Structure 1
Amino acid sequence: MTTAGESTGSTARPRADLRAEFADCDLDRHLALFYESTATQLDTVAAFLSYGLETGHRCVYLVDANPQSRIENALRAEGVDVAAKRGAGDLASRGASEVYLDEGFERDGTVAELRSGAERSAAEGYEGLWVAGENTWAFDGETSFDEVVDFEVAFDAACPDFAVTALCQYDLRRFDEAAAAKALRTHQQIVYDRTLCENPFHVSPEEYRSEEGGPTPGSC
């Protein structure tokens, strides 16, 4: 994979370097984080959300495996005034299972909710909506991983002009190689080992659906 930002040759970059990579490249609106340690996850999430806040976006974190306090501590270590940002409505958190599973997992409804959140954020003066979500919710309930990937594909196929940027998080200690391979194909940019990369294995929603034998998703 090729790095999307300026490479330093380090395999364990600090958050400041990753945040600079977010700033220096043209970010796709749908990124994936693959990680093998909670420390790497928190470093990446803190860099992503702090950059989103700095650039005028409303940021929402979807909590699952980590307690909310752990995410907030990572943001404080990045220099974010969490209390002030939450009080202003700039930063919020929700339970990932609440968002995806409370009323049963529904692909198109979830995509529509993201679009609605982006539109509300823009109407309230934000540059758009940034979402970072822990995907470990997929192990709860009766949702298959293929349904999760289908949601990822549907998100890609939705209107490319609505102002939402999402960071989907995959814990490689829990997701097996087959699941990771499917997730890899549905994200144009990924973060691995604190490095932002262009993903050579990414395929378009149309190509993915064609290869998987499903219907080609429509656009908004």
Structure 2
Amino acid sequence: MNHRRNVSLGFTEGTVPAGTHICQIFNDDDERNDVLVRFILSGLRASERVTCFSERANAAELETVFTAHDLSYAQLTASEAFSLAPTSKVYFEGGQFDPERMLERLACFYDEGVAQGYVGSRILGEMIPEVHELPGGSRLFEYEARISLLLQRLPLTAVCQYDARSFDGATILDVLRVHPMMLVRGSVVHNPFFIPPEVFLA
């Protein structure tokens, strides 16, 4: 993380180093949506490339938000500065959860952004409980730990959203174990439950 630029997340005061891996465990949709919108807008204002994987984010609603902030949803999506796709379409391609494919997708997203001249890249991904029902779903937390390893190499800022109403307590604890930073009451703080990926994956 040395010598990386600091970035604003939009939903909290202060900045974090590019490449920070953050989890948000939310309890209501307004809380989830507020972070999603602020994170996206902050990245676009900073001339970063932004992508969002969410089952609940609505393109029409985001277009209205963009317009209110003097941003063209049509132009940003056409140029691929911003992209939006359902969680199920991205994470569960081919009816399975494949960590290798997803990690390659994230790395390609970052590399393409560099090639296209963006100052940085960021991703917001909301996981949904259906992951546990699919082949490969048991590797979810291996994947999250490997994201932390990937971000040691690539300064791709990532926020992972989990709905506390949809996952049991044991799963939420595992979520905490694989994210070095967490969002608590509007502040990004070091996660005391975090297990370094080198240890978690051993």
Q: Which moved more, 1:186-195 or 1:119-128?
A: 186-195
Q: Deviations over 1:130-151 (max 9, x none)?
A: 1111101644752465311111
Secondary structure of 2:12 counterpart: helix
From 184, 194, 199, the counterpart of 1:202: 194
**1:93-132 paired onto structure 2 within 5 Å:** 93-103=84-94, 104-132=96-124
Note closer, same or farther for the CA distance 1:177–1:65 as it changes in structure 2 (3 Å cut). Answer: same
**Residue 23 of structure 1, CA deviation:** 4.5
**Residue 154 of structure 1, CA deviation:** 1.5
From 57, 76, 79, the counterpart of 1:85: 76
Preserved CA contact (<8 Å) 2:182 2:190: yes
Distance 1:184 1:92 in 2: 27
Preserved CA contact (<8 Å) 2:179 2:194: yes
Preserved CA contact (<8 Å) 1:57 1:90: yes
Secondary structure of 2:10 counterpart: helix
Listed as ranges, the gaps of 5+ residues in structure 1 are: 1-16, 210-215
Secondary structure of 1:165 counterpart: strand
**Structure-2 residue corresponding to 1:5:** none
Distance 1:72 1:137 in 2: 27
Preserved CA contact (<8 Å) 1:60 1:91: yes
TM-score by length of 1: 0.76
Preserved CA contact (<8 Å) 1:28 1:188: no
1:57 aligns with 2:48: yes
Preserved CA contact (<8 Å) 1:61 1:133: yes
Distance 2:180 2:141 in 1: 14
Secondary structure of 2:193 counterpart: coil
Q: Deviations over 1:149-200 (max 9, x none)?
A: 1110111223622232111110011011111100011111111333322212
1:68 aligns with 2:51: no
Query: What percent identity do the matched residue pairs reach?
Result: 21
Listed as ranges, the gaps of 5+ residues in structure 2 are: 1-7
Q: Deviations over 1:36-71 (max 9, x none)?
A: 010011111111111111222110111213433344
**Structure-1 residue corresponding to 2:27:** 36
Preserved CA contact (<8 Å) 1:186 1:202: yes
TM-score by length of 2: 0.82
**Structure-2 residue corresponding to 1:177:** 169
Distance 2:52 2:142 in 1: 21
Note closer, same or farther for the CA distance 1:66–1:25 as it changes in structure 2 (3 Å cut). Answer: closer
Preserved CA contact (<8 Å) 1:30 1:189: yes
Preserved CA contact (<8 Å) 2:129 2:167: no
Aligned residue pairs: how many? 193
Preserved CA contact (<8 Å) 2:182 2:191: yes
Preserved CA contact (<8 Å) 1:135 1:168: yes
Secondary structure of 1:21 counterpart: coil
